[in-house]
Structure formats: structure tokens, C-alpha cells
Amino acid sequence: CHDSKGVLHEFDSHWRTDDCLDCSCTRSGIDCCTSYATPVGYDEEKCVRIFDKETCTYRVVNKDDQSKECPIHEWVG
């Protein structure tokens, strides 16, 4: 299988892309899905979500003081 960047992957192989997608190669082709959950249940007036591409995770922090994390009540993905 050739991925979107032209890299060749063996059948039955698995990898994570730079965009935090988990991909696999089968004889049917390549299948990719997100490797992370997205927070949706938080106070969007006071808080903002920040994605970390190094860890492929979200943090939800206070807009005015990003050292303070906000509670998250629901995730999707």
C-alpha cells in the first residue's frame, strides 16, 4: 500500500501518521482513523481545547489562565 505521502507499507502493517491517524494496510487497501478522542463536554465560554501533536491528545484549559485545566464531561472519537 502507498500512503498519501507515497510511502510504501507492507500488507498487514500498522502505523501512526504525523496527523495522529492510526492506519493499517491490507490487500483491500489502507484504512485510517483518528487515534485520539475529542473533548466536547466542557464550558466553551471559559475554556479552550488545545491539541498536542507530540502526544496526539487534547487538553482543555482556561482561556484566561492556561495553567488551569477545565473539567471535561464528554468525549467523541
The 3 state secondary structure assigned to the chain is CECCCCCECCCCEEEECCCCEEEEEECCEEEEEECCCEECCCCCCCEEEEEECCCCEEEEEECCCCCCECCCCCEEC
Task: Write out pLDDT tens, residues 2-11.
Answer: 998 899 999 9
Q: How many domains does the chain have?
A: 2
CATH number at 52 reads: 2.20.25.590
76 CB-near residues (< 8 Å, 6+ apart):
37, 38, 40
First to last CA, the chain: 25
Task: Write out pLDDT tens, residues 52-67.
Answer: 999 999 999 999 999 9
Cell of 40: 466536547
Q: Residue 76: which pLDDT band, with cuts at 50, 70 and 90?
A: very high
| 48 and 60 both lie in a single domain | yes
